[in-house]
Structures are given as C-alpha cells and as structure tokens.
Structure 1
Amino acid sequence: MTQTTEKTGFIGVGLMGHGMARNIVEKGYPLTVIAHRNRAPVDDLVTRGATEAKSMQEMASSCSVIFLCLTGSPEVAAAVAALKPNLKQGSVIVDCSTSDPTVTERLAAELADIGVDFADAPLSRTPKEAWEGTLDCMVGATEAVFARIEPVISTWAGKIVHIGGVGDGHRMKLLNNFISLGYAAIYSEALAMSQKVGIPIAEFDKVIRGGRMDCGFYQTFMGYALEGNRESHKFTINNAYKDIRYVESMANAATVATPMTSAIKNAFAHAVNTGGNGPEDYLPHLADYVAKANGIN
C-alpha cells in the first residue's frame, strides 16, 4: 500500500476511468469520485474505499490532485469551470482525456492565474489494461508537476513517458491515435477486399497473425472480425471520429498536408453517418460499415 498525503479525485469513471480509479484507491491513495450518468462504477469504487462527492464544489475543495477522464475538450473545459471557484492553491488538475492541445494550453494558463497546475496525461491501450493497471501514459507537464503526479499515475500505468510541457501529452496522443485509427481503417478495408476476392477471414488471419504485420491492436480488432466478440476493443466509433478530427485540426494549425488523415476521417464519418454512432458501436465494428458500403453482409 502506498503511504501518501496526496488526496486524489477522479471525474469520469467510465470505460477507462473505472479501472484507473480502482487502482488508485486500492494502492493506498485517498480517492473521491463523483457520479454522472452511470452510478454502478461509483458504487463499486465506494465499496473499495473511495468517497463520493455530492458536487463538483465538494470535489474541488477536498482534493489536491484531480484526474479527468472525459470524452473530449468541451467536457474537460466544463469540468474545469465547475471546479475552478473551489480549487485550492497548489492543487493539480490532470487531464487523461484525448483533448485538443490548444484548449489544454488555454486551461493551463487560466488555472496558473489562481495558483493551480495543469497536466495532460492521455492514455493508450484498453479498459482491460486500465483494470490491470498496465496502461501506457504520455505526460505533458513541468518537471516539478510530473515528479508530483508520476507516483499516482504509476498505480494505473505500466509505461509512463514524460513527453514535454503542457499540451505535448495531448499532441503525442493525437499522433498515437492517428496511427491506431489508421490501422482500423486499413484492416476494415482489407477485410472487405478479402471477402470480395474469396479469401475467408480465418485464412486472412492465419497469414497476418504471428507475422510482421501482427500487433496488439490487430489482435483486439480481430477479436470481433474473427471471433464475434463485440467487446474486444471497447472504444467507440464516435470517439474515434472525434479524435481524428482533433488530429486534422492539429495538422492544419501546423500547415501539414493530410491526405492520409482525411482518408481515415472519411472512413469514420461514413460509419457515424450510417448508424455507427451508438454507445456500443466500437472501433472493430468499423469493418461492418466498410463491408456494407461494398455490398457485403
């Protein structure tokens, strides 16, 4: 058990946040959580030793380090605005969401004015690794803030990289998701072509699995395409579409030509606009929408 005087808070105990928060409290950190739409994770965390805050004001006034794991920058900005009046000088907000780096920098500047630090610490991997405490994490923060938050992050992350200053964690996360969402788009199109030319998915997989084109992302993606496991990679198509739009925005600001980014974005836009916008439409299900566009059931 960790011995600490740091009082942690967690906002956003959803697919990823539930496991992360569970590791924080079970590894010795005092933890305060707050409910949103789904009470089940909060109730579970309370049984493990967490305290439930009844309001954002209570969360702000009772915690020294508060983690956010939310859908995107609009939700992060709203949470910070709700917390801000009651935050204690010297506290830290850590945004683990996939967010727009320009918003990250703006929030950091606003909080600095009241003596509160801000860090971006987005994640890679899946809810399975969140539960196991083996996520990857890329952190944007000053050296002093990183040294302070790293022990808490290490309760739920197996690989932690201090990328640079505030905003750099989110920039790296967008680069990471550009690659992973590109994989998803390529796999989906390859599976559609495989079906069209008469190569069964099982035979396709025999060639790729264990070869140079194999990777962890391929394996979770194929958990659905090959085995029918709808929860093999629980990251929604809606969130993927949001992330690739953030990638495109970052590239536009840096004056980078983005033919690949635009192609990936269009694959997800098509899926979202043809039914893939529900809370249980996950990344591997993109293959279904690409297949339908090609006349395949």
Structure 2
Amino acid sequence: MSKVAFLGLGVMGYPMAGHLRARGGHEVTVYNRTPARAEQWVAEFGGRRAATPAEAARGAEIVFCCVGNDDDLRSVTLGADGVFAAMRAGSVFVDNTTASADIARELAAAAQAGGFGFLDAPVSGGQAGAEKGILTVMCGGSESDFDKAEPVIGAYAAKVALIGPAGSGQLAKMMNQICIAGLVEGLAEAIHFGKRAGLDILKVVDVISKGAAGSWQMDNRHATMNADQYEFGFAVDWMRKDLGIVLDEARRNGARLPVTALVDQFYADVQAMGGSRWDTSALLKRLEG
C-alpha cells in the first residue's frame, strides 16, 4: 500500500482515484476545485479530502493529476498552493491529463529541480475505461520514476507503457487521437452510405467488423450511431481540445495531417449544431443534417 494523492475528480479522475483506493488498497487523499465533488468521493470510497493541492501532496509517495488543460496543470502544480512546493524528495508526480508535450517538459524540468520525479501519463479508453479500470496509459519520463509508479497505476489500467523521455506520453496520446479522428469519420461515412443504400446497418457491421475494417469504434459505437444516440461518452468539446493540441504540435514538427485537420473542422460543425457535449461519434449527425 502506498500513500498517494489525486488531483481532479472529473468523469475520468473520479473513478481512477476510486480504483486506487478500492482495488489498489492505497491511502488516498483527493483534491478537487469543487469541494462538494471531493466530499462525495470520500463518502463513497473513504480516504481524505484536502483543501488545496499542496495539502493533498504533503507526505505522498505518488501524486496523480487529471485536470483539463495546460493552464489547469500550471495552476495545481506551480500556482499558489500548488503541489510542487509540497512534493517530497524521491516522490513522483504522475500527470494523467491530456495536455501538450511542452507543458510536460516544463513540469519535468521543475520536478527535477525540486528533487522529485515526473511522468506525463495521458490515458486512452474514455469514461467507460476509467470506470472499469482498464485504461491504456502512455508514459513519458525516466525508467526509475516509471518503475516506482507503474504498479500503482495498474489499479486503474490494463496497459501501462513507458514510451520515452518527458513529453513522449503526450506525443503518443496525440497519435492515438489522430487515429480515432480518422476512424470515427470513416465509420460515420460508412453508416451514412449504408443507410442511403437501404442496407441493414447492424447486419452489415456484424459482418465487416470481423474483417480488416473492424475497430474499437465500430464495435462500441455503430449501434448507438445507427440509433441516433449521442448523449454519452467522450464529448466533442474534449476532442476538439485534443485535436487542437495535435495540430499545434504538427505545425511545430512539420507533420502533415490533412485528414486530422479536416475532421477537426467537421467537429466544429457539430459544435455549431449544438453538439458540444455529444459523443465524438456524432460526426454521423453532421452528415445526416
């Protein structure tokens, strides 16, 4: 059992922290910007609620974080009452936020100066994966910090891998989002085409999902897309945030991402339709008008 802290109890962080407590058996202190959410978590899982990020981090061996964006990260780490001022020597900060590679490198340097470790460790698997404790975690950092954190991360993950130095986890997550963007648009177009052709979509997908066209998106989203159901899952707003990070990085490294850029604009169309909180599979909604 380890003494850990978890910052950020959103739709992902809440169950992830829960698995650290219930499945991992760790001593967990939580912090959330909205205290009522932290109080709810403590009532459900036990543990302790802290009033500030720094308070949550005091004495912790590993501090986990899952917040919204780069600015949120700076606030809970480097800001007033931020955790970096309270991290003890030899501890590790594990950032599960999907953020930029630049902020990962910035925080890794600050952690090194403070005498503790840092892993950028964004996750894939969505809310369902977080609730089931079967996320995929892509890490950037040193092997020694990874070796300390990996057994604890395993409480909420099915796959954990060290990709490379600081920033590598975020870059791997960008690749993940590039793949998802293209897959969802392809699935949306296929279902749209099949409907126009008068085919039974469920029968067709049952067949083609067993071949080379098969994917997680096809297995888990085709039925809800066919039923025009989108009030769940990974929101379009979040995907546009992630794709914005991808496209910013591509401008820096010279990568050409024409399909990703196009799908990002398709998601902007979905937002304009009022679908900011719809699941990313709502790309079909755009095609059907």
State the TM-score, normalizing by the size of structure 1: 0.88
For 1:266, the equivalent position in structure 2 comes to 265
Larger mean CA deviation between 132-141 and 190-199 belongs to 190-199
Following superposition, the deviation at residue 195 of structure 1 comes to 3.0
Give the corresponding residue for 2:92. Answer: 92
Measure, in 2, the Cα distance between the counterparts of 1:50 and 1:257: 47
Pair 1:22 & 2:21 matched: no
Q: What is the aligned partner in structure 2 of residue 284 from structure 1?
A: 281
Match of 1:32 among 20, 23, 29: 29
> Once the 2 structures are TM-superposed, how far is the Cα of residue 94 of structure 1 from its aligned partner?
0.8
Greater CA drift, 98-107 or 69-78? 69-78
Structure 2 partner of 1:135: 135
Whether 1:172 aligns to 2:172 is: yes
- Cross-structure match for 1:76: 73
The answer on whether the counterparts of 1:46 and 1:52 sit within 8 Å (CA) in structure 2 is no
Q: Please give the secondary structure, in 1, of the residue aligned with 2:220.
A: helix
CA distance in 2, matches of 1:263, 1:204: 27
* In structure 1, C-alpha distance between the alignment counterparts of 2:171 and 2:86, rounded to whole Å: 29
After superposition, residues 1-297 of structure 1 pair within 5 angstroms as 4=1, 6-26=2-22, 27-37=24-34, 39-40=36-37, 42-81=39-78, 82-227=82-227, 230=230, 234-278=233-277, 281-292=278-289
Equivalent residues of 1:8, 1:31 under 8 A apart: yes
Letter in 1 for 2:158: G
| Aligned partner letter, 1:263 | L
Q: How far off its partner does 1:48 sit?
A: 1.9
- Work out the CA distance in 1 between the residues paired with 2:241 and 2:47: 31
- Show CA shifts across 1:114-140 (max 9, x none): 223211111111322222222111111
8 A contact 1:140–1:163 mirrored in 2 = yes
Number of equivalenced pairs: 285
Kept in 2: contact 1:22–1:45 (CA 8 A): no
User: CA contact under 8 A between 2:270 and 2:282: conserved in structure 1?
Assistant: no
Structure 1: how far apart are the matches of 2:39 and 2:14?
Answer: 8
Give the SS at the match of 2:118: strand
Alignment CA distance shift 1:262-1:31 (3 Å): same
Correspondence for 1:295? none
- Bigger mean CA offset, 124-133 vs 177-186: 124-133
| 1:75-94: CA deviation from partner (whole Å, max 9, x where unpaired) | 22222122233333333211
**Could you tell me the TM-score, scaled by structure 2's length?**
0.90
Runs (5+) with no aligned partner, structure 2? none
Q: 2-side partners of 1:106 and 1:237: how far apart?
A: 28
Instruction: Give the aligned residue type for 1:67.
Output: F
AA at the equivalent of 1:36:
R
SS at match of 1:118: strand
Judged with a 3 Å threshold, the aligned counterparts in structure 2 of structure 1 residues 96 and 268 are, in CA distance, closer, same or farther, namely: same
Cα distance in 2, alignment partners of residues 68 and 175 from structure 1: 21
Which consecutive residues of structure 1, in runs of 5 or more, have no partner in the other structure? Answer: 293-297
Report the Cα distance in structure 2 between the residues aligned to 1:225 and 1:23, rounded to whole angstroms: 30
Percent of aligned positions that are identical: 25
Q: What whole-Å deviation, never above 9, does each CA across 1:91-128 have from its counterpart, x for those lacking one?
A: 32111111110111012112222223211111111322
Deviation at 1:9, TM superposition (A): 0.8
Distance 1:40 1:229 in 2: 28
Secondary structure in 2 matching 1:159:
strand
Taking the aligned partners of 1:159 and 1:45, their CA distance within structure 2 comes to: 27
Distance 1:275 1:228, change over 3 A: closer
Deviations 1:160-203 (A, max 9, x none): 11111111111111101110121112222332333334335335
Query: Match of 1:39, SS?
Result: helix
